[in-house]
Amino acid sequence: MASLARVILDFQSGELSRDEFVAQIDSALATEQLGPTRLLETLYAAHHRSPLPDDLYLEVRRRIELLRVSNVAAGGEETGIQTTVDLPSLRSSSAGSAGAASTAGSAAHETIKGIGDTLNNRFVLEECLGVGGMGTVYKALDLRKLEASDRKPYLAIKVLNVQFRGNPNSLVALQREARKAQVLAHRNIITVYDFDRDGPIVYLTMEYLSGKPLSQLLRTPGYQGMPVRAALPIVRGMCAALAYAHERGFVHCDFKPANVFLTTNAEVKVIDFGIARVFQRPEEESDATVFDPGSLGALTPAYASPEMIEHREPDPRDDIYALGCITYELLTGHHPFDRLSATQARNADFKPQRPANLDARQWRALRAALSFDRNTRIPSVVRFIAEFDNEARAEKSGTLAWVGLAGLAAVCAVTVGVFAFRSGSGRQQAAQTEAAGSQSDQVDRAAGASAVAPAPKPALTLAAITPTLAQVPCSALSGAVQDHALTVRGFLSQRYGAAHLKETLAALPGVDTVSLDVRPLADDKCDFVKTLAPFLVRNWQAGRVASLQMRPPSGFLTENDSLVVDLKAPPFDSFATVDYYQLDGHVVHMVPSRLWPDNQMQANGGPYTIGSNAGDWTISKPFGSEMVVLMVTPVPLFDKLRPESEARADYLRALETRLKQIGGQYGQDRLLADFAPITTKPATR
């Protein structure tokens, strides 16, 4: 009976149909002498060499995972992943030790997550979008966004593949991907939101992109390349993303067609910075935390530079080699070295023939990008696009021109050039590359810092920027749009910073100018801001129909001053809850309370003044930055008065539960919030 590897190879070579492949999988798994962990390694290696269709890959993986559980449940082989740098190795429980038995028991109860499952009671996995070297990406429904009536409740989730789940370095890689993404905020780089885990399941949340990866286009049957005019917008988008990352000290390290995404909104997005390396390492990233991405098996040999394969230090020119391979494949329909690794192609002295649709200058740039020697490779992405983009059309970086889309639709009908290999001396190649470098110097002086000319921006809408604002941690931000000008008001994490926010928003499609009117928030306020931010944003987007105003408006108060606030009601009958969040971690309930039990407000009523009686609430220790919060609900928030003061954590748990109940019964649009920051100081003695 054929092995799993043989069945996969037969399918990939076309000897088995899809139905025949599925039919033979179970028999192959039943007769294999390997355990489930080794079977997963076999599947991963085969998929890495030549990707299987995503649904078939997931189905085979699912059957192997089920085999793992059934084996353990039957008292057989335990195949948990060891926490070593190497790929998982087989462990046997035959010795019957207590440790092995314990591990086997945990493996039996290990949850296998797939389509239809939920992560952390929040993210419902609805569709597999792709399978990569280290993770599987799903389209997921965010139940919290759905509950808040968000018009875009979907996001993408990358779940760490099971063969890496126990590898500590792979956990580091995924966590770093989230951290890097906060630095790499660019319109041509996918936005990654957060890193989290659900038991043994480790995952990233990121923006959901509608479209298809470039690899899918290149695998289209009969694809023979596209005209330069159609390819240029894609090349520009790739270059813009890489140039931005390189300027900030990052090398992608796994740049390939599967990591270039063409969206339905005519944008190019570079994804998966999971194994990106820092070539200008900041002080906080010590040598002890640096690992080789190749040790995780995550490199793609056909697009990895010789230096990466040889485990040399990362360099932007590693990405340039991959960029050259992808550009060549985009134009001709063939990999420049017949998908051989760079070291194999170098040893065979392979050299790709010039595509017929390139002029001499473009070919010099592309050939220099494909150099096997880092020293003769074209030195920067900016230099490459300056030489390659001879049309210099006014197209925005990363946006596909309509002519480009038409080219994509008709690409199978376009015949571009002839692919062949020819032999030649390394000396001749070096001389040609030097000539390209000389030409590059002249172009760079003329091109300046930007490789791509600006173009008219797409329309800017509030719906387009709201998801980005919602993902800023420890913040409550409301946006307003006028033409291509974006204004953001609210409260912003002090750690995140106004400069970071402005840079992130400026990279969004359609944004010309960004104006910020935000108040900084310290980390000690993140807990209640996370709970209440959606209600404040809804209120401010509606024109701040319910408001809380301090007396004085500046919010600066001194020891023994009275705490007085004015409330304005929304355009519906409502009930007010006013809470004072103190520095010591407690919440003082101002309204309703023993002092102010009546908290009902008439539609559009007010101002209602709270704390006007002498001695109601006075400022005392501790002093610093604090917050008063108004919460508006269509019914009383709680059935009875809360204690005058209580621990913040206890109150927030009760508050979240009650807001969810009221929102479900009366609608989220009737739940509004407003914040009033105050700064207190001791009296002058």
Distance CA 346, CA 629 (A): 66
What DSSP element (H or E) covers 674? Answer: strand 672-681
Interval 12-21: pLDDT, tens? 777 777 777 8
Catalytic pick from 142, 196, 254, 674? 254
Residue 398 has φ and ψ, to the nearest 5°, of 85, -10
Beta bridge partners, 632, equal 576, 672
Pairing assessment for the beta strands 672-681 and 556-558 based on DSSP bridges? parallel
Task: Return the axis-axis angle of helices 381-388 and 360-369, rounded to nearest 10°.
Answer: 160
Buried b (16+ CB within 10 A) or exposed e, 277-306: bbbeeeeeeeeeeebbbbbbbbbbbbbbbb
CATH number of 118-206, picked from 3.40.50.970, 1.10.287.70, 3.30.200.20, 3.40.50.720: 3.30.200.20
Give the separation between CA 583 and CA 623, rounded to whole angstroms.
Answer: 8
pLDDT for the residue 448: 37
How high is the mean pLDDT of the chain? Answer: 78
For residue 80, what are the CA distances in angstroms to 38, 92, 182?
11, 10, 33
Catalytic residue flag (residue 254):
yes
| Region 513-523 average pLDDT | 91
**d(C-alpha 142, C-alpha 139), whole Å:** 10
Q: What's the one-letter identity of residue 338?
A: D
User: Is residue 531 pLDDT above 80, yes or no?
Assistant: yes
Mean pLDDT of 3-22: 78
CA-to-CA dists, residue 500 to 194, 201, 505, 523, angstroms: 16, 30, 9, 17
Q: Do domains 118-206 and 459-521 have the same CATH topology?
A: no
Position 63 scores a pLDDT of 78
Q: Looking at the domain that runs over 524-681, which CATH code has it been given?
A: 2.60.40
Query: How far is it, in rounded angstroms, from Cα 42 to Cα 295?
Result: 17
Model pLDDT for residues 584-594, shown as the tens digit of each residue: 899 999 999 98
**Spatial separation of the C-alpha atoms in residues 113 and 293, rounded to whole Å:** 25
Residues 123-167 have pLDDT tens digits of 999 887 876 656 788 899 999 988 888 888 999 998 876 655 655
> 212-248 burial string, b = 16+ CB within 10 Å, else e?
ebbbebbeeeebbbbbbebbbbbbbbbbbbbbbbbee
Domain ranges of the chain: 4-108, 118-206, 224-286+298-447, 459-521, 524-681
> 360-383 as b/e, with b when 16 or more CB fall inside 10 Å?
eebbbbbbbbbbbebebbbbbbbb
Backbone phi, psi, residue 547, to 5°: -140, 155
Tally the C-alpha atoms within 13 A of residue 70's C-alpha that lie toward its C-beta: 10
pTM above 0.75, yes or no: no
List the single range of 59-73, 326-340, 433-447, 618-632 with lowest mean pLDDT: 433-447
Homologous superfamily assigned to 224-286+298-447 = Transferase(Phosphotransferase) domain 1 (1.10.510.10)
Structure tokens at 221: 């049957």
Q: Does domain 459-521 have CATH number 3.30.1340.30?
A: yes
